[in-house]
């Protein structure tokens, strides 16, 4: 069996309907693996699952961020119809939209990005 996932890959479990991060194949068989799944409360839960139920996840932000950005657009939290548009936004715009959804109005998301960059000496505007 070809190994189609590697450590750290974002995956989707078709039966559980959960996203997670691939940890690795089981030592006894490459048909089973361990995955860290995202729970409803934002925590991670490791599960041992069949590889056959996994597929590569489309690139999205985590559940909490995606739901907030969808609701900001007037959609239901689970409505994925505009996920492509959301994922085409700049990261700065995503951060600002999320901040505004959480009540931080006035474009402060952009200011916060600059402060974090300055404090941690990193470039977040890629």
Q: Are residues 45 and 74 in the same domain?
A: no
User: Is residue 110 situated within a structural domain?
Assistant: yes
Q: Is residue 44 domain-shared with residue 91, that is, in the same domain?
A: no
Taking residues 26-32, report their average pLDDT: 91
How much is the average pLDDT of 103-120? 88
Indicate whether 67 and 33 sit together in one domain: no
By residue range, what is the domain housing residue 25? 10-56
What percentage of the chain carries pLDDT values higher than 90? 48
Q: Per the domain annotation, does 88 fall within a domain?
A: yes
Residue pair 11/54 in contact by the 8 Å Cβ criterion:
yes
Other beta carbons within 10 angstroms of residue 125's beta carbon come to 12
DSSP 17-39: TEEEEEEEE-SS-TTEEEEEEEP
Give the C-alpha separation, 55 to 14, whole Å.
Answer: 7
Query: Are 71 and 103 within one domain?
Result: yes
Tell me the pLDDT band of 85, cut-offs 50, 70 and 90.
confident
Sheet holding 44-50, edge to edge: 44-50, 32-38, 18-25, 10-13, 54-56
Whether residue 70 sits in one domain with residue 37: no
Q: Where are the alpha helices (DSSP H) in 3-107?
A: 63-72, 83-87, 91-101
- Amino acid 126: pLDDT: 58
Tokens of 74: 């007037």
d(CA 92, CA 110): 7
Residues 25 and 45 in one domain: yes
Judge whether 2 lies within some domain.
no
**Residues 67, 31 within the same domain:** no
Q: What is the mean pLDDT of residues 56-82?
A: 91
* Within-domain flag for 86: yes
Task: Give the model's pLDDT for residue 1.
Answer: 53
3-state secondary structure of 7: coil
């Amino acid at each position: 069996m070809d190994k189609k996932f590697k450590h750290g890959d974002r995956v989707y479990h078709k039966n559980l309907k959960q996203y997670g991060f691939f940890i690795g194949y089981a030592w006894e068989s490459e048909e089973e693996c361990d995955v860290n799944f995202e729970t409803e409360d934002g925590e991670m839960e490791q599960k041992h699952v069949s590889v056959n139920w996994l597929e590569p996840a489309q690139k999205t932000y985590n559940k909490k961020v995606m739901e907030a950005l969808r609701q900001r657009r007037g959609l239901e939290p689970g409505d994925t119809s505009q996920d492509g548009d959301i994922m085409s936004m700049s990261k700065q715009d995503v951060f600002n939209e999320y901040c505004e959804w959480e009540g931080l109005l006035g474009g402060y998301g952009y200011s916060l990005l600059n402060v974090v960059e300055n404090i941690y000496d990193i470039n977040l505007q890629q």
